[in-house]
Amino acid sequence: MKYLYVLSFLLALAAADTETYSTENDNFDIDTAVADNNTLQAMAGCVLDTGDCDAVIADFKKDIPEATQTACAKCTQSQKHIFHTFLESLKNKRPADYT
């Protein structure tokens, strides 16, 4: 019986570790997006609530508060790359929006 409890605990732990944000937009080409200043400006406007959001950026935006509080614990590797690239681009190309 004790093994059943341990096994149940390990299965629950494994299931919790696999929870991620939606992977629907994991193929978003962030490198191309941030290379274009107009696109980067539009993305920043969406995230900062000063502009309109398209569906893809709105999808990422909804996860930002939790992702920043949990150090992206539910992020896939693609999402980590997307968030990191976006933030680095803001910092380097639009420092006023970064701070």
Domain range for residue 37?
2-98
The position carrying tokens 């993305």 is 43
How many helices (H) and strands (E) would you count in the chain?
A: 7, 0
For residue 8, the model assigns a pLDDT of: 46
Q: What is the CATH number of the domain that holds 20?
A: 1.10.2080.10
Summarised one tens digit per residue, pLDDT across range 40-99 is 999 999 999 999 999 999 999 999 999 999 999 999 999 999 999 999 999 999 999 988
How many distinct structural domains can be found in the chain? Answer: 1
pTM of the model: 0.78
Which DSSP letter does residue 12 get?
H
